[in-house]
Structure 1
Amino acid sequence: MTRGRFLIWLVLAVLAFPISCNRRPAGPEPPQVVQSKRANSAETMTGRVVRIADGDTVTILDATNTQHRIRLQGIDAPESHQAFGTQSKKNLSDMIFDKDVTAVYDKMDQYGRLVGKILLEGRDINLEQVKAGMAWHYKEYEREQSPEDRELYARAEDEARSARRGLWVAANPIEPGEFRRD
């Protein structure tokens, strides 16, 4: 190989190296979810509720026929095999199954679910679950809620407890976190 050809190949190799380093792997990009807790960083999605897993987890089918699992923020509903688990799931299903909703979310949980608020015609469905006595206000994560939501959810739980609605008919209902540990 002549010296001229060698230099041309060397220059081409040097120029091609940065380009090859910037290539992304083929295939779909992973979903990007904003991890910030600021209200103005929230993203929204609209879609039809196609599955109710339990009293605080649903699946939404968006306009592109993509399914998204949503964990309802700020609440903790009884587990499916726990007292009031079936009633909590049914209550949520009666409100939103096969209906078009808006999800407002700003993070993803450890199970790959988006965590957010479900709105049906402007109504906060997460809050409705607490008001009906079908879920606790999830105080462990209340810092992720707006101050207004924290107050609304806490008041809704107190009112449901006082009125002995839903799971509050029991003297001392067991919170799902405690139930899972037992």
Structure 2
Amino acid sequence: MMASASAHPVISVADGDTLTLAVDGRRLKIRLANIDAPERGQAYGRESRRSLVELCMHKEAQYRTQDIDQYGRTVAVVTCDGVDASRAQVERGMAWVLTHYNRDAALATLQQQARWRRMGLWADSNPQPPWEFRHGKDGSAQTLSPVSRLGEGDDICYTGPRGGRFRWVNGHKRYGC
């Protein structure tokens, strides 16, 4: 596990679990470790992003790398002015704990407490996890609109809720059609 030697300014927040730091003159996009926050077009997505902005934007952050994800982002534990951003997001009810990837034993308890208190997304009687939202479960896939036929077979190019274009290939979403 690699740790940053010093603090770096947070220069942008994409959503409730992704932020960008200015590190040695370059931009470093970081996905917060151990959690998954609602997507921008999803219920509580804006609130989750606002929460992370309040926690980290224009503050000094330190990070401890855990992994590199499939999109090339650094997955890290981030502290903004000494506050663990992942823990704060879960405690506020602004993110789910990713149980299969979680390395922080305290997060499960924080999530349960937020749920009991009906904080943030837990105020909803049946909040939809972001991994279901992204993969079109619970009806969200019906909101996608096909934009063109690609010619061969049944491949259809779809436009997602945030404008990204993709198609389904062997049960997997492939971008860039």
Q: TM-score, normalised by structure 2?
A: 0.73
Of structures 1 and 2, the one with the larger relative CO (CA 8 A, separation 6+) is: 1
Please point out which of 40, 55, 60 is paired with 2:21.
60
* 2:107 aligned partner: 153
Q: CA RMSD in A?
A: 1.1
Distance 1:178 1:58 in 2: 22
Q: Write the distance in 1 (CA, Å) between the matches of 2:66 and 2:3.
A: 6
Contact 2:52 2:89 in 1 (8 A): yes
After superposition, where does 1:11-50 map in structure 2 within 5 Å? 41-44=1-4, 46-50=7-11
Q: Which has the higher strand share?
A: 2
The one of 25, 33, 49 aligned to 1:73: 33
Identity within the alignment, %: 37
Deviations 1:91-143 (A, max 9, x none): 0001110111101113211101000011123321110000000000111312x
The aligned residue for residue 96 of structure 1 is: 56
Indicate whether 1:110 and 2:70 are aligned. Answer: yes
CA displacement at 1:44 relative to structure 2? 1.9
Counterpart residue identity of residue 171, structure 1: S
Task: Give the Cα–Cα distance (whole angstroms) in 2 for the partners of residues 160 and 137 of structure 1.
Answer: 12
In the alignment, structure 2 segments of 5+ residues that lack a partner are 137-177
Stretches of structure 1 that go unaligned for 5 or more consecutive residues are 1-40
Number of aligned residue pairs: 135
Q: Which runs of 4+ in 1 moved over 6 A?
A: none
SS of 1:79 mapped into structure 2: coil
More helix by percentage: 1
Higher alpha-carbon Rg: 1
